[in-house]
Chains A and B, each alone.
Chain A
Amino acid sequence: MVKLEFEHRQAGHCESGVTRNLLNYHHHKISEPMAFGIGAGLFFSYLPFLKMQHAPTTSFRVWPGQVFDRATKELGVKTSIHTFRNPKESMDKLNAVLEQGYPVGLQVGTYHLPFFPPEYRMHYNMHNMIAYGHDNGNYFISDTLMENLVEINYEDLKRVRFAKGAFAPQGRMYYPTYVPKDIDIRPAIIKGIRKTANNMVGIPFPIIGVKGIRYLAGRMRNWEKKLGPEKASYYLGQVLRMEEEVGTAGAGFRYIYGAFLEEASGVLNQPWLREISFEMGENANKWREFSYLGSRNCKKRGKPDQSYDFLADILLEVADREEKIFKKLATIK
């Protein structure tokens, strides 16, 4: 039996929250937006060829695992990361690490997660949570989506750690092993901002970054004609689900990123970043307007309030805003 003194705090985004809570345990205080920004978590891509729940995938974030990996690397934190083939081995390793006194981040699938809200229990393999102890085949879990601490038994935990399908977690577990005492987070912030700016405006590929938003706008205009009203509404719903749910804290991470820029402005003593953080906030509100109008369409299915052209125009507007924001951010020194 081991149960570490672990402070549970909710977060908007699971992986950033896990990163913050793990660092917090090792006495490095950092906010969730800071972990997200240094980890360069913001992104956009539209993948028409990769279907999830029978509709194309839209992603507002980077690859799973990157936020923790980047943030800890840039902060000089030493980490241990494992994936496994053998489920039993992965559980033995988890027990051993917990007994050494480290809380552990786990990547899991959400379909069989017993404590998860039923409405979110789909086959989504990129969820993250923390195990902070175990007792007699029962594991103590801090999940940043949940209001309270939760528990899970051995068999269920093994099953969710070895969920199959796209982005299968393969028992992925990760934890900081050494956190330096005095960390200068300023260079890490600047590198994180540059990386995100490059992801958003520096990659010459049509489905990624700001170009990806414009690409999605273009596809959206033809949905109704190509797919019929039912399916068009379902495709739109899929974009909105990826934007507003599955742990984005709203508006596809744009709010968290704005909060990060605001905090960064203070830490770096660069007031112009504060102005940009407000532009990002306005931009996030525009995304939210898009999802609000879009959800009205989904509700009425065949008889949309707004035409898809109208929604696509909003996307073009946010693409212009984000292009302006990230071109400025790319010049940070």
Chain B
Amino acid sequence: MDFLNDIPWMLIAASLAKTLFLIFGVVLPIVSYTVYAERRVSALIQDRLGPNRTGFPISLFGFEKDLQLFLGGLGQPVADAMKFLLKEEFTPAHVNKFYFWLAPVLAMVPALSTLAVLPFGNFLFGQKMVVADVNVGILYVFAVASVGVYGIVLAGWSSNSKYPFLGSIRASSQMISYELSLGLSAVPVLMIIGNLNLSEAIQYQIDNGWLLLPFTDGKLTLRELFLWIPVFVSFIIFTISMFAETNRLPFDLPESETELVAGYHTEYSAMKFALFFLGEYAAMIAGSSIIVVLFLGGWHVPFLPINTLESSTTPAGIALGFLHITAFFAKVVGILIFFIWVRWTLPRFRFDQLMKLGWLYLFEIALVNIFITAAILAWVK
């Protein structure tokens, strides 16, 4: 049994623990509460109340009233999840069964897989807070995200129905088009950092200030000031493309209710529908995390000490480790709130406008931006 000794059990156990913590401890709760936040923020914007009644059902255990915390309605995500799980799993007769069942899985898995390379904290208990610290971090994210198209394409095709099919065609052409500006807008940032590894990207921003806010290291040089211009352009294009990639309003053409009923998931119900829903929000979280890592310093908190591998087992190091993880996800939640805010503020684009924006403006601006960055890097010292 020689090969059993070769297996790095400690590494596998640590990776598994980090993965479970990331997915079930952080991302899925954030997903369910983003849905809640979406409903409460939209209510706020539209001068309504939103779901503010559902509490945690402790009245089942003999208490007089359900538990209400803070704003009220915090039990709503739990109730929604229960509803999705308990509803009838209905499969229409005219669908292509195998692919119909496969599609929601393919929509969910890539979105969660992108989380593997995210450095969501510094060190904690002697472990680096990233599942796989690979040297192609950002490319991995783009690659896995591009596989996410299959879920949507298959959903639309296997439904054997016209609205889902139109929705999936729109989704895939939109995602393929915006992948270009997404990738190109990240290039200036990678040129400045000089590394594809996401941990290194954060390390660079710790040493030189966050790319979008270059004064966070306490000083501001002329070079940083010049580089801030292409970085800001990159940030805008990256964020817009991220909206299109995750099918969020103002680019939610694939599921625009007024034209396509619900787009590619029209025929889906219960937990299969919920998987599309979860996949979309998980992709939003992954996208926001990439924005945070590339432009907003990742888990870094300015003017705070940074724990090392050695100090991460001491009480102060553990506190600092948790603080960094909290800082990372606080920034992610900030971006998510921005996503929601935009959704309830802007009207939907027309499909030709969407394609024109992607191909005629964002693509070219991102391309020119690369040359400007190269010029600044070469001449401004």
Binding partners A and B: no
